[in-house]
Structure 1
Amino acid sequence: MEIDEPGAAAPDAASGGAASSPASGAAPTTEPASETSGGAASSEGSSAAPPAAAPVAPAAASAPAAAAVATVPDRGPRSQILSPLVRRLAKEHDLDLAQIPGTGSGGRITKADVMAVISSGEARATAGAAAPTIAPAQPMPAPSAGIGDEVVSVSHIRRAIAEHMLASTQGTARAWTMVEVNVDHLVKLRERVKDAFQERYGIKITYLPMVVRATVDALLEYPDVNARLDGENIVRHRFVNMGIAVSYDAGLIVPVVKGADGMNTIGVARSIADLAARARAHQLQPDEVQGATFTITNPGPYGSVASVPIINQPNVGILSFDAIVKRPVVIDDAIAIRSMVNISMSWDHRVIDGELATRFLARVKQNLESWDFAEDLGA
């Protein structure tokens, strides 16, 4: 499909950002702590019977040592045998178990130990004393460019596009609706008149002017789609200024066909061709990219069959005209091959409801399938 004004208003499915790969770094290695190996002394009994009193003395000497060991709390592994109740109480009262002396077996902390700290009013002091100092999170350093990577500065235009698209996604309640349209007769009409049209008017005839005309009629029928939200009010425009998304070397721009509701198809075609040519030549005036009341984007020439464009604020809707493809359809209970296209609209749910969006697209579909553009094109 030929077209002079391809463009896409940053559809979600096509506007993917390049993912940054974190710089890989070797994990720090930790030297294992050196272990002191103690040899276990092995004692073999002699064949001679030992004196009867010999074994008594060591046993007596070891008894006090064992008692001494029993009175030293085992501060290390005791936390591994804490009861679930003790853990829960400590968590509920923000207690550091390492600061609570245990009176249980082997220095184990019991429920009574925790309740004693809570009832004594030491819980706050214990929690405060145990509160660790957490360093603020440091931002990850930006990955450096790898070998062979190209670093390109973000242009002023690209930055402006990014800011506008981000503001739109954050400031609207976007929803989406799509219909399929049989444009078989439009394909045949364009094929029949394209050479004569270009010879007569000096421009190519594309499908976009026909889509604009069909959309303008639907906007006049459903003025809430040709509107903007102004605080607590909805402003319905009494005219149609149609924004046309145009891609060019610097990115994306939306020149505006002012007064599209007063033009025929030839007038729309001439206006789009002029705006698109001057947009790509960087010759548009500031007022020529302002004042749109609705926007149309046309990613079809690039093969897109279903796109979800971002609303061009302050508009409350944007229509997408995707690729025309031949596919089988059922007509009067028979399967036939027809040229079909998906037309979709992203719309702001703060102003438009699903029924209105569907009725609007149904009107555009009806116009494209039933209107005879031959006379309008001078054919």
Structure 2
Amino acid sequence: MPVIELKIPNLGESITTITFSKWLKPDGSIVEMDEPLCEIETEKANQELSADKAGKLTWVAKEGEDLEIGALFAKIDTDAAGESSGGSSVGSSNSENDKPETASTPAGETESSGSYASGHPSPAAAKILEEGGLNPADVNGTGKDGRITKEDALKAVENKSKSAAPESQPATPPSTAAPKEQPQTRTPEPAVKTLYSRNERRERLSRMRRTIAKRLVSAKNNTAMLTTFNEADMSGILQMREKYQDAFVKKYGIKLGFMSLFAKACAKVLLEMPEVNAYIDGDDIIYHDYADISVAISTPSGLVVPPIRNVESLGFHEVELKIKELAGKARDGKLSLEEMTGGTFTITNGGIFGSLMSTPIINEPQSAILGMHAIKERPVAVNGQVEIRPMMYLALSYDHRIVDGATSVTFLVKVKELLEDPVTLLLDL
């Protein structure tokens, strides 16, 4: 059939509805195969949907609309693909030396070949490269068979702008004279409006924010949550990082952070105390002989907690590299559903925002979560003497239905001891 229907694909067992965020292509436009058409929002991440065939796009879904899996969101008239190809050929033959011809040539090659050869950009990438004044031959493709993806094109344009930034600086001095007169005429108006403004605005919660809200309320209502506290002297870790940081970076290409040390310490104790690494499923308890530690990452859309799998079997550098990878994907909205699923324990670091102490909420169905906080120098008693030490408060929130008070305290003390003497962690003592 010349007209094909595009429907919301199956995105995982737990996802039954999505929010149609926005269209990336205009209604009635000619699109290429695999060209991104729209962006949808699930409970866990944002995702782009692409065209199955080339042709004329007809919108069906509306932006902001909630749709069920399998719902129709667009139609494509495949007969219109040939008309677009013919139109571009006529345009290019009229003026052989014009610039529009060079822009249409890659599209013509893509249509005739039916697939993307090595070094060829996708339609979206081709447009970005054209607007950025870049030649596809100068860009390394990371897609299938060397195809230049949209991300490759964006990165290339960004690198070009960075390298060109110093050249644009000398052009700024001549323009400094013009803005001087503007404050004299424009300053009074905004001052009156903003100082005494009582405006309000209403916007709909994003699907991710709605999901976060439901999960947090569920954790408070459906678990017997309690928090126990302790504090750790971070002197040993700080000294170790200062001494070996350069060698670590030289060998592995990444810095030794705090999160990998906390993750490894927790993984070790989790396997020793399986109750903290388990969760309740109905009338059963599910135990795990592995430690998949979820790491809380703040993004513009909300908090996500992708797990690092089998932390007990990873080296410190492998944990750091995985954290960097997941954090980058999370902030770019490119985490897959698989990367968002699972986890037996969670670590959240409020210290990077300056938090001194908190009571983190359990990430259901898990039974416990560790909260890290800011490192502050405080006077402490050491062997009868008052010394200034870099201290961090630790908070362990746990589900009292499965984790007893003594178990939670013992768990946190063991983690504290490993952090205060990191050599025992390295030697697996």
TM-score computed with the length of structure 2 as normaliser: 0.52
Aligned to 1:370: 421
Conservation of the 8 A alpha-carbon contact between 1:242 and 1:294: yes
1:221 to 264, 272, 276: 272
Residue matched to 2:380: 329
Name the residue aligned to 1:165. Answer: 216
The CA deviation at 1:338 is 0.8
Aligned residue type for 2:288: H
Select which of 289, 298, 307 maps to 2:349. 298
1:229 aligned counterpart, secondary structure: strand
Relative to 1, partners in 2 of residues 1:360 and 1:375: Cα closer, same or farther, differing over 3 Å? closer
Measure the CA separation in 2 of the matches of 1:336 and 1:175: 32
Point out where structure 2 has 5 or more consecutive residues left out of the alignment.
1-196
Give the aligned partner of residue 192 of structure 1. Answer: 243
- C-alpha contact 1:189 1:374 (8 A) present in aligned 2: no
The residue that corresponds to 1:174 in the other structure is 225
Cα offset for 1:374? 9.9
CA distance in 2, matches of 1:374, 1:204: 18
1:318: which partner in 2? 369
Partner of 1:288: 339
Q: How does 1:16-95 map to 2 (within 5 A)?
A: none
* Secondary structure of residue in 1 paired with 2:279: strand
**Structure 2 CA distance for aligned equivalents of residues 267 and 248 of structure 1:** 23
**Worse-matched range after superposition: 273-282 or 328-337:** 273-282
CA distance in 1, matches of 2:384, 2:208: 52
Q: 2:201 aligns with which of 150, 159, 163?
A: 150
Q: Say if 1:204 and 1:149 are closer, same or farther in 2 by CA, change over 3 A.
A: farther
Q: Report the CA distance shift for 1:372/1:232 in structure 2 as closer, same or farther (over 3 A).
A: same
Looking at secondary structure, tell me which structure has more strand per residue.
2
Separation in 1 of the partners of 2:283 and 2:252? 46
Of residues 281, 285, 289, the one that matches 1:238 is 289
Deviation at 1:151, TM superposition (A): 2.5
More deviation, 185-194/217-226: 185-194
2:423 aligns to what SS in structure 1? coil
The structure in which a higher percent of residues are helix is 2
* Count, aligned residues: 231
Look up the equivalent residue of 2:244 and give its one-letter code: V
What secondary structure sits across from 2:231 in the alignment? Answer: strand
Shift of 1:373: 7.9
Question: Structure 2 vs 1, CA of residues 337 and 170 (structure 1 numbering), >3 Å: closer, same or farther?
Answer: same
**CA deviations over 1:77-129 (Å, ceiling 9, x no partner):** xxxxxxxxxxxxxxxxxxxxxxxxxxxxxxxxxxxxxxxxxxxxxxxxxxxxx
Report if the CA contact (8 A) 1:203-1:273 is conserved: no
Residues 374 and 314 from structure 1, CA distance in 2 versus in 1: closer, same or farther, beyond 3 angstroms?
A: closer
**CA–CA distance in structure 2, aligned partners of residues 195 and 234 of structure 1:** 44
Distance 1:354 1:373, change over 3 A: closer
Aligned match of 2:317 in 262, 266, 277? 266
Alpha-carbon separation, structure 2, partners of 1:190 and 1:274: 21
Amino acid at match of 2:257: T
Cα distance in 2 between the residues matched to 1:367 and 1:373: 6
Question: How far off its partner does 1:202 sit?
Answer: 3.0
Alignment partner, residue 308 of structure 1: 359
SS of alignment partner, residue 391 of structure 2:
strand
User: Could you tell me which residue of structure 1 aligns to residue 98 of structure 2?
Assistant: none
- The question of whether the paired residues in 1 share the 8 Å contact of 2:345 and 2:367 is answered with yes
Contact 2:418 2:424 (C-alpha < 8 Å) held by counterparts: no
Report the secondary structure of 1:166's partner residue. Answer: helix
Higher relative contact order (CA 8 A, sep 6+): 1
Equivalents in 2 of 1:170, 1:203: separation in Å? 41
Whole-angstrom distance in 2 between the partners of 1:331 and 1:152: 54
How far is 1:375 from its partner? Answer: 6.6
- TM-score of the pair, normalised by structure 1: 0.59
Report whether the alignment pairs 1:350 with 2:416. no
Could you list the structure 1 runs, at least 4 aligned residues long, displaced by more than 4 angstroms after superposition.
373-376
Q: State the shift of 1:190 in Å.
A: 1.7
* Amino acid across the alignment from 1:168: A
The answer on whether the counterparts of 1:327 and 1:340 sit within 8 Å (CA) in structure 2 is: yes
Equivalent position of 2:308 in the other structure: 257
Aligned amino acid, residue 152 of structure 1: E
The sequence identity of aligned pairs, in percent, is 35
Aligned residue identity for 2:403: I
Q: Which structure 1 segments of 5+ residues have no match?
A: 1-145
Q: Secondary structure of 2:387's match? A: strand
Q: Which amino acid aligns with 1:232?
A: D
Quote how far apart the aligned CAs of 1:149 are: 2.4
